[in-house]
Structure 1
Amino acid sequence: MNLENRKVTMTLPAEAEFIDVVRLTLYGLCTKVGFSYEEIEDLKVAVAEACNNVVVHAYEPSSIGMMEVHFELIEDGLRITVKDQGHSFNFSEKAPQAHSLHDKSLEEAQVGGLGIYLMQALMDDVEVNSEGGTEVILTKRLSKSEEMV
């Protein structure tokens, strides 16, 4: 399959009710790629979390910002980029390490860092760029046993 120009791009208001539009588009693309039901559910949770971070954290409550979502079919899976032009944060300070959460209760876990931890647990790769807004790049690869032939 020629993957050149196999991208879908959306620009949406950074409002909670538009996250469903992203999830529906994601579902459609995931079925084309050949992800299993469980993998699609993981992708939906991770991408919704990235979008929710834009809705909750990127813009001042009085202003309506925009979020860009890019879906790119790659050779062995799907790469999703969620980007905003709002407030950035220092990823290395926010992202908890797996071992740092191991013996803590939910109340003790750092608020604001669980979403990133969840994305890291569900995806194969998570990159965060925080210059001029925030860009979260999520990559999920097909399991060899579930690849479409």
Structure 2
Amino acid sequence: MNSFIHLTIPARAEFIDIVRLTLFGIANKAGFSYEEIEDMKVAVTEACTNVVLHAYSNAQPGVIDLSFELEHNGITIRIKDEGSSFKYKPADSKAATLHDKELSEVTAGGLGLFMMHALMDKVEVFSERGTEVILTKLFGRKEEMA
């Protein structure tokens, strides 16, 4: 049976720690290793930071809706905003080519999607009304198998 946990926070940097603590509690209870939890925390922090920096203007403060779904084979984390839509394809193609670049060539903020892909087993991005990032981590999945 799948378990769902929902969390809504203001889209402000000082609330991202609440997401990290919630994720730690859920993932620890589910049986993920310390390293897997740390990887997930980095990926989720990147996704939430993107919302804080890019989704809402200062005049229009918004929220980040998160859901954590525990499944028999892992966890799926959804990070959703209702702000300015994010153009996924161009950023994704840049992320895919980072292995050919020197760190000095990568633009600020250009590592977020790359890191999410490197740390999680599956990353999906939908940008219709706002943006939704869906991150999946499977139990016992070793990096060399990904």
Same fold (TM > 0.5) = yes
1:142 aligns with 2:143: no
CA distance in 1, matches of 2:130, 2:68: 19
- 1:66: which partner in 2? 63
**Which residue does 2:5 correspond to in 1?**
8
- State the partner residue of 2:102: 105
SS in structure 1 at match of 2:60: coil
Count of residues paired in the alignment: 141
Question: Which of these residues, 127, 132, 135, is aligned with residue 130 of structure 1?
Answer: 127
Greater alpha carbon shift after TM alignment, 115-124 vs 87-96 = 87-96
Per-residue CA deviations over 1:127-148 (Å, capped at 9, x if unaligned) read: 0000000000000000169xxx
Residue 76 of structure 2 corresponds to 79
Length-normalised TM-score, structure 2: 0.91
What residue in structure 1 maps to residue 111 of structure 2?
A: 114
What do residues 108-129 of structure 1 show as CA deviations (whole Å, max 9, x unaligned)?
A: 1143331011000000000000
Output aligned runs, 1:20-31, within 5 Å.
20-31=17-28
Deviates more, 1:11-20 or 1:104-113: 104-113
Displacement of 1:74 after TM fit?
1.1
Cα RMSD between the aligned structures? 1.5
Matches of 2:69 and 2:95, distance apart in 1? 28
Distance in 2, Cα, partners of 1:103 & 1:83: 31
Question: Which 4+ residue blocks in structure 1 deviate beyond 2 angstroms?
Answer: 110-113
Which of the two has greater helix per residue?
A: 2
Residue 43 of structure 1 and its aligned partner are, at CA, apart by 0.4
Structure 1: unaligned runs, 5 residues or longer: none
Equivalent-residue separation in structure 2 for 1:76 and 1:70 (angstroms): 17
CA contact (8 A) 1:7 1:70 kept: yes
User: Does residue 86 of structure 2 align to residue 94 of structure 1?
Assistant: no
**TM-score normalized by the length of structure 1:** 0.89
SS at match of 2:27: helix
Aligned position for 2:35: 38
Partner of 1:49: 46
Which runs of 5 or more residues in structure 2 are unaligned? none
Local SS of the residue matching 1:79: strand
Which secondary structure state, in structure 2, belongs to the residue aligned with residue 102 of structure 1? Answer: helix
